[in-house]
Amino acid sequence: MDKVFNVGKLVDFQWKLGVSIASNHSSQLNTPFITVFVKVLDSNSEVTSHSFELTIPEFKNFAQQFKDMSNMIETL
Amino acid sequence: MNLSEDVLKGIETLSDEKLINDSVFKHIIDTCFLVILKKKTESDLFDNKAVSSVDTIALKQTFSAFIVFILESMKINYDQSSISDLLEEHKLSSSRIDFISNYFKEYRVAIRKHLSVTNFHFPHIIDVNWRLDLFMKSNAVEKLNTPVYLINLTTEQEENVKGKVQFAATLDQLQDLVFKLRDAQKQIERSSIKS
């Protein structure tokens, strides 16, 4: 089955919690964020890396969706 | 200023008020300057209805000749009076010379600046954005507390092609970069003093 329908495999998942302190636009940011780093083995057997940043509300939404998936699995 | 015969012929054609009337003349001059500054394209030359009465080949020759004239005179930073003298030598009327002179006055700085950054290889940095982050935790380490600078460079290549260069640097790496840039700046200052 895996050979027929391959949407890619999650190889690595890393995260970091950080706070933006300052930037060229603002000297007092103090904004928390989550950085996520994902490695995926695609259907051509190539590893691609993706990184993205989430604000706390975005992360909560992101995490909630995984919780919902987990709850669905529990019902199976 | 070394101009070829073709260029000088093209400039002389601009003096022919029967072949090129005032509205066509003004349109040619305006288009030439704006094409150099990439605010217009060559196709805009034919957008004016008045141009339809002029022979296409003559129009193109005049247009390309005047483009060369502008670029050559700006390359050596030819002054206003020298430009006027050269145009007068090639039989242009005083009103047409004044019209051209006004364009040179208006666009001299912009064209000189444009020529100084014309580049065929490396992109130019046109904007820098940075952000200082403090990483507190990760999936691997409970307490990080590592400051990291995120640098975002916006670059521009010819034809307004914009690009982005993004990288993260620790405080030490950033200081190293700053020292190297300062060193480069000192070298530039030294070489400008010598010249």
Q: What domain range is A21 assigned to?
A: 9-74
Q: DSSP string spanning B53-121?
A: GS-HHHHHHHHHHHHHHHHHHHHTT--HHHHHHHHHHTT--HHHHHHHHHHHHHHHHHHHHHHHT--SS
Q: Is the pLDDT of residue B190 over 80?
A: no
Most confident of A26-30, A49-53, B40-44: A49-53
B130: chain A residues, CB-CB within 8 Å: 23-24
Task: Report how far residue A32's alpha carbon sits from residue A18's, in angstroms, rounded to the nearest whole number.
Answer: 6
Q: What is the pLDDT of residue B70?
A: 94
B132: chain A residues, CB-CB within 8 Å: 20-23
Q: Which of B117, B136, B170 is the last residue of a domain?
A: B117
Q: Is the pLDDT of residue B159 over 80?
A: no
From A4's Cα to the closest Cα of chain B, the distance in A is: 33
Cβ contact B61:B13 at 8 Å: yes
Among A50-54, B67-71, B155-159, B162-166, the minimum mean pLDDT is found in: B155-159
Structural domains of chain A, count? 1
Q: B144 or B181, which is more confident?
A: B181
The answer to whether residue A38 sits within a structural domain is yes
Q: Do B164 and B97 fall into the same domain?
A: no
Q: Do B104 and B11 fall into the same domain?
A: yes
Q: Among residues B71, B75, B105, B99, which one has the least CA distance to residue B87?
A: B99
Q: B10 or B164, which is more confident?
A: B10
Angle at A16 between CA A10 and CA A18, to 5 degrees: 155
Task: Report how far residue B28's alpha carbon sits from residue B31's, in angstroms, rounded to the nearest whole number.
Answer: 5
The mean pLDDT value for B183-193 works out to: 82
The answer to whether residue B9 sits within a structural domain is yes
The answer to whether residue B37 sits within a structural domain is yes
CB within 8 Å: A15 and B130: no
Q: Is the pLDDT of residue B39 over 90?
A: no
Cβ contact A27:A55 at 8 Å: no
Q: How confident is the model at residue B97 (pLDDT cuts 50, 70, 90)?
A: very high
Q: Is the pLDDT of residue B158 over 60?
A: no
Interface with A, mutate which of B129, B139, B166 (most A CBs under 10 A): B139
The answer to whether residue A1 sits within a structural domain is no
B145 touches chain A (CB under 8 A): no
The answer to whether residue B122 sits within a structural domain is no
Structural domains of chain B, count? 2
At position B58, the amino acid (one-letter code) is A
Q: What domain range is B11 assigned to?
A: 5-117
Q: Do B103 and B145 fall into the same domain?
A: no
Q: Do B78 and B31 fall into the same domain?
A: yes
Distance of alpha carbon A18 from its chain centroid, rounded? 15
B135: chain A residues, CB-CB within 8 Å: 16-18, 35
Q: What is the pLDDT of residue B160?
A: 61
Q: Tell me the pLDDT tens digit for each residue of B57-88.
A: 888 888 989 999 999 888 788 888 899 988 98
The answer to whether residue A50 sits within a structural domain is yes
B134: chain A residues, CB-CB within 8 Å: 18-19, 21
Please write down the long-range contacts of A50-55, taking CB distance under 8 Å and 24 or more positions apart: A55/A31
Of A13, A18, A23, the CB nearest to B134: A18
The answer to whether residue A3 sits within a structural domain is no
Please write down the long-range contacts of B55-62, taking CB distance under 8 Å and 24 or more positions apart: B55/B19, B58/B13, B58/B19, B59/B28, B61/B6, B61/B9, B61/B10, B61/B13, B62/B10, B62/B13, B62/B14, B62/B20, B62/B28
Q: What is the pLDDT of residue B32?
A: 94
Q: B125 or B47, which is more confident?
A: B125
CB within 8 Å: A18 and B136: yes
How many other C-beta atoms lie within 10 A of the C-beta of residue B162?
Answer: 11
Q: Do B84 and B24 fall into the same domain?
A: yes
Q: Do B41 and B112 fall into the same domain?
A: yes
Q: DSSP string spanning B143-171?
A: ---EEEEEEEEEEEEGGGEEEEEEEEE-H
How many other C-beta atoms lie within 10 A of the C-beta of residue A59?
Answer: 17
The answer to whether residue A42 sits within a structural domain is yes
The answer to whether residue A57 sits within a structural domain is yes
Q: What is the pLDDT of residue A58?
A: 93
Q: Tell me the pLDDT tens digit for each residue of B137-148.
A: 898 887 778 899
Q: Which two tokens stand for residue B151?
A: 């640098």
Interface of A with B in 31-60 (CB under 8 A): 33, 35
Please write down the long-range contacts of B99-102, taking CB distance under 8 Å and 24 or more positions apart: B99/B25, B99/B26, B99/B29, B100/B29
Q: What backbone torsions phi and psi does residue B120 show, to the nearest 5 degrees?
A: -110, 0
Q: What is the pLDDT of residue A65?
A: 87
Q: Do B92 and B133 fall into the same domain?
A: no
Question: What is the average pLDDT score of chain A?
Answer: 85
Q: Which of B92, B117, B142 is the last residue of a domain?
A: B117
Q: Tell me the pLDDT tens digit for each residue of B103-121.
A: 998 898 899 877 876 545 5
Q: How many helices (H) and strands (E) does chain A have?
A: 1, 3
Q: Which two tokens stand for residue A50?
A: 């993706």
The answer to whether residue A2 sits within a structural domain is no
Q: Do B34 and B81 fall into the same domain?
A: yes
Q: Do B131 and B151 fall into the same domain?
A: yes
Q: Do B107 and B22 fall into the same domain?
A: yes
Of A15, A25, A29, the CB nearest to B138: A15
Task: Tell me which chain B residue has its CA closest to the CA of residue A18.
Answer: B135
Question: What is the average pLDDT score of chain B?
Answer: 84
Q: Which two tokens stand for residue B194?
A: 């010598």
Q: Which of B56, B83, B117 is the last residue of a domain?
A: B117
A16: chain B residues, CB-CB within 8 Å: 135, 137-139, 144
B168 touches chain A (CB under 8 A): no
Q: What is the pLDDT of residue A6?
A: 63
The answer to whether residue A4 sits within a structural domain is no
